[in-house]
Amino acid sequence: MTAALVAGCSVLGLLVGALLPVLIERVPEKAPVLAGPFPEPARSLRTGTGWCVVVGTGVLFGATAARFGADWVLPAYLVLVAALVALSVIDLRRFLLPNRIVFPLAGASVVLLGLGALAEDELGAYGRAMAAAVVAFLVFALLHVVSPRSMGFGDVKLSFVLGLFLGYLGWGEVVLGLFLGFLYGAVIGIALILTGVRTRKDHVPFGPFLAAGTMTAILVGQAVLDWWQA
């Protein structure tokens, strides 16, 4: 059952990844997403970045299915994966985390995760998720007020969603996921400066690092926390 689920979700992830260029290209331009024709998928598959999106989404879908199995919250986490891939690519290209993705993602996440928690009789975990979402938002908002150049408000809005999904798993995952986002950003940022790709004055998008930290905590966070506490 688990192997079939992982394989099925991986194939689904490949299909979703092939379609994500529609969002990635149209949302920043404020173009209608559902209006045909749809040349973006074919055009994207002629590029290396396009194939990275397809393969990366497929791998993450499969890994997420392996993490949660047939749990009712799996659909919510798959939606998160697809959204984070799209947001990461857009942020890398445009230094932008569009409200047209973040706001619907937040609404859908609250509903889907709530339904999954209800089906799994995990309303306590859902309550913790909502609390973690609010805490993450407030912390990031404070960081934005203190240093708006280093913490954009798009990151603040995204933090609500990240806190929600991490909080459903536990407070340890919340701390780990957000910490890893800052760690990844710092390490890559320093590497880019040392190699001359970026200077200290250049802006580096933070969204992809937050996404990477969150997915790390979701997929292997429990193992990392168990190792840390051993």
Q: Mean pLDDT of all residues in the chain? A: 93
Domains of the chain, residue spans: 2-229
Q: CA–CA separation, 63 vs 73, rounded Å?
A: 14
- At 97 the pLDDT is 95
Per-residue pLDDT tens digits for 146-202: 988 778 889 999 999 999 999 999 999 999 999 999 999 889 888 877 776 666 676
Q: What is the pTM of this model?
A: 0.94
Q: What is the mean pLDDT of residues 110-135?
A: 97
Which residues lie below 8 Å from residue 120, measured CB to CB, with a gap of 6+?
71, 72, 73
